[in-house]
Amino acid sequence: MNSWRGRWPIILAIGVGVAVFAAAYVTTGSTYRAWRFLGVPSMSPSFADLRAITQGIDCFRSGRDPYIDASCDAFGRLYNYPSLWLHFGAFGISGANTNLIGAVFILLILASLLSIFKTSTLEGGAIAFTAATAPPVMLGLERGNSDMLIFSLIVLGIRLIYFISDSLRKEPSIGAISTLIFTLTLLKLYPIAGILSVARWKHGYSAVILTVLVSAAVLIFGYGTTQLSAIAMNTPQSRTLSYGAMPLFIAMGEAGVFSISIERMRLAASLTALAIGGLSILGSLYKPEFLYKYTAPLNQRSARSTIALASLAIFCFTFVMGSSWIYRLIFLLGTLPATIEAYDRTRRKTLLIFPIVFVGYCWLSRLSPYMPASLVIVQELLDWVLFAFGCAWLANTVFPQLYGGPAVSAERAAELG
């Protein structure tokens, strides 16, 4: 009972979400209008992103190539996922299963949120509730986006690995986590960054290098550079309902700050992100006590810390890569349970600043479709602040030797004031 009591914010979020959506559905008469009534930019039919996969499977089975044939998709989009998804048709998956699979995605994301969020404080509960009901999560559920599946599998997979290791009274298996990350990389490419979550374990750096090399070899020789290029080219770059290095540059281009091609803009955005990330790490090296004061220590061997590290690494990686739809912000949400846990233990108010800024940014994203480019620039600067802060937090945890030793504990950070 005590375990479930600590999960009340997510239970409340699920209850409120279901009740509000049901009321909106009764009022409007359709799921499309119900989502719109709640401020979510829905598409009809529902689970539009999931349909890109299931209709791509139908297209592939009919002998067409969804990477170049936009007629495969009900919305006229070119396929931009690894081809492994297309072979799921051998298991009977097709466009006819879309609604059922979408419902499974929703159940998995709810289960993952329930499994990692736990708090004993009102402040932690407020952050958990507002994060779980934020626009990026709602949009991801409405679209049936595969990022919801990837996040759920990371969370539930790592939780299962820790459960098994605790049952056997052994250390969690670095091989199991590496295998999980490798498998998910074959589905969406970006999960490879999550391997940094085991970097500080025994033989961790070796596991990181090996997993990256094996993944790269399989992607290049298995999928081929032509397919990887098609995935990159078919992935839209937008400033609306997006985060990453690109939206700011797109907004500045629309505001007349400069005029360059989208390819050069993407390169410039990524190089700028790498520079900002590097500078933030250097800054944290100069004054590490500032970082310790505002971040939860992620050096414990625990499921929440491992999930937070994997999620933080994925957020920073996808930011550098360009533009991602806001539902992928669910990975930065993955850092909140560990932060809330540290706050519950120390009651250090400074730990709440990063979660509050992040949740505020998530809710502000609801207004981005209606903002002029000049205001989007201001909004995206906040996104860059989160990125810079995340880079320093990640580096401090993964490479503590740069900071003169292991990451400082929450208790020591409190002493630092």
- Integer Cα distance of 53 and 66 in angstroms: 10
SS (H, E, C) 232-283: HHHCCCCCCCEEEHHHHHHHHHHCCCCCCCHHHHHHHHHHHHHHHHHHHHHH
How do strand 323-325 and strand 242-244 relate by DSSP bridges? Answer: antiparallel
Q: How many domains does the chain have?
A: 1
Q: Which residue's entry shows tokens 């466009």?
A: 95
Tokens of 268: 């410039």
| Full-model pTM | 0.93
- Integer Cα distance of 188 and 170 in angstroms: 31
* Contact indicator for 105, 147 with CB cutoff of 8 Å: no
| Amino acid, res. 262 | I
Which structural domain, as residue segments, surrounds residue 180? 2-416
pLDDT of residue 408: 47
Q: Which residue's entry shows tokens 């979020």?
A: 13
Walk along the chain (417 residues) and give the pLDDT tens digit of each residue. Answer: 456 778 999 999 999 999 999 999 999 999 999 999 988 999 999 999 999 999 999 999 999 999 999 998 989 999 999 999 999 999 999 999 999 999 999 999 999 999 999 999 999 999 999 999 999 999 999 999 999 999 999 999 999 999 999 999 899 999 999 999 999 999 999 999 999 999 988 888 999 999 999 999 999 999 999 999 999 888 887 777 889 999 888 888 877 777 777 788 888 999 999 999 999 998 888 878 778 889 998 877 899 999 999 999 999 999 999 889 999 999 999 999 999 999 999 999 999 999 999 999 999 887 776 766 667 777 788 899 999 999 999 988 888 766 655 444 444 444 334
